[in-house]
Amino acid sequence: MRATRMVSSVLVLVLMQSGALCARRFRGGRNPQPRRSPPPPTYRADRGDTTESFPLDFTAVEENMDNFMTQVKNLAQSLYPCSAQKLDYDMKLNFLENTSVTCNDGSPAGYYLKESRGTGILSPLPEENPHWWNANMVFIPYCSSDVWSGATAKTEQSGYAFMGSLIIQEVVKDLLSKGLDNAKVLLLAGSSAGGTGVLLNVDRVAELLEGLGHTGIQVRGLSDSGWFLDNKQYHCTDCVDAVSCAPTETIKRGIKYWGGVVPEKCRQTHEGQEWNCFFGYRVFPSIKSPVFVVQWLFDEAQLTVDNIQLTGQPVQEGQWRYIQNLGIELRNTLKDVPAMFAPACLSHEVITRNYWIDVQVKGTSLPRALHCWDRSLHDNRNNKAPPKGCPVHLIDSCPWPHCNPTCPTIRDQFTGQEMNVIQFLMHMGFDVQKMAQQQGMDPSKLLGMLSSGS
């Protein structure tokens, strides 16, 4: 069989978030599975995308688990084949040459290689993916259940492996014989858990290539919806499974089993408490490679782990204040990130969605911002001034979910009708009169601001 070689100078290496992929099938996406589905979400981002958002890896299997670690093991076994099914239609799984690096259950790990496919940043169409439409695409299925951090082999005692970080390393090594050695740029990209994996691994990939003598390959990171906060939950619950655990407790428990590898500088800063390095604002100062951060200010996954349930009932005043404060907290943690795109929307993941080109912050789309980032990195390497009128630090200032008019469309779960931002906020229990009073403005002015996204 003829080996596939990459033909572009740019390689986009995608850390797949298979939990979201499989859960969309459970929700009745393009390829529904004949199994019992968890309750669908109240709100759906829908801009021509027929799949529904689903933020957590664990939810689809939570009812079958007896304890936390059994959950972790079964998660990998159930989700890895699901991600493989999604891609098998037009790509072949390439197993790693180093067979000692495996998936969670000990089965062979691998990757999919194709010149281009998919939607959003994966699209081969210039009108949908104007900057990287002709880049080579490599997809690594998420079969390690360790937020791409693990370096622990399977043992008879434990019965499972956590080798996410090692899988990335081995994929990069294998790709050198398939054309990566001639590439100019390697973009490590990922969404949700994959987005966190980018933050944990981008420097390790750069150091690996440098150590192998490939100093001409520029390694960059693109982290989408992986910038989680270790904040206090709206309602604190006992940590009896992966869904009820607070984010910090989930990582604290998991990292012991994963043998999690974090950036060295961050490890030294948080020695003995390395779990801190799984949260973007804590690990980012230690990252040397260029990274572009994409993060919804009102991330569905963050709200879910914080026990804010948008179930169709009007939110209580305390919940509403909590949601607003979440946006404020995220803004504060992102203020020192030089390259980022943060719309004030209620959603999760964007770079692989077909509406990624439509969302704007301050008049700039995400593809445009990424193009500006690429140009600024190129100019910096050539000691040139950054391009004018080409912003790379973009964050919404409006204070409510979906106050940006370019946010993905929200649909009512029960009627299927699209809702504008005012209808959406009122559906959530938003009191225009009271909020206007709190802001010291006329209600009609507030409505005008909401309509325009100002």
**Type of residue numbered 411:** R
Can you state the angle between helices 247-258 and 68-87, rounded to 10 degrees?
A: 80
Q: How far is CA 65 from CA 40, 41, 146, 212, 240, in A?
A: 20, 22, 17, 43, 10
192 is catalytic: yes
| Residue 129 φ then ψ, to 5° | -135, 75
Distance from C-alpha of 146 to C-alpha of 153, rounded to nearest angstrom: 12
348 is catalytic: yes
376 is catalytic: no
| Annotated active-site residue in 49, 57, 299, 396 | 299
At 360 the three-state DSSP class reads strand
Strand partners, 140: 15
Contact present, 381 and 371 (Cβ < 8 Å): no
| Annotated active-site residue in 214, 348, 402, 427 | 348
**Type of residue numbered 453:** G
Residue 104, judged by CB atoms within 10 A of its CB (0-12, 13-18, 19+), counts as buried
**Type of residue numbered 256:** K
| Annotated active-site residue in 192, 225, 286, 289 | 192
> Could you tell me which residues come within 8 angstroms of residue 441 by beta carbon, excluding any fewer than 6 positions away?
none
The closest alpha carbon to 447, from 414, 423, 429, 428, belongs to: 423
> Could you tell me which residues come within 8 angstroms of residue 333 by beta carbon, excluding any fewer than 6 positions away?
227, 229, 280, 281
Catalytic machinery residues: 192, 299, 348
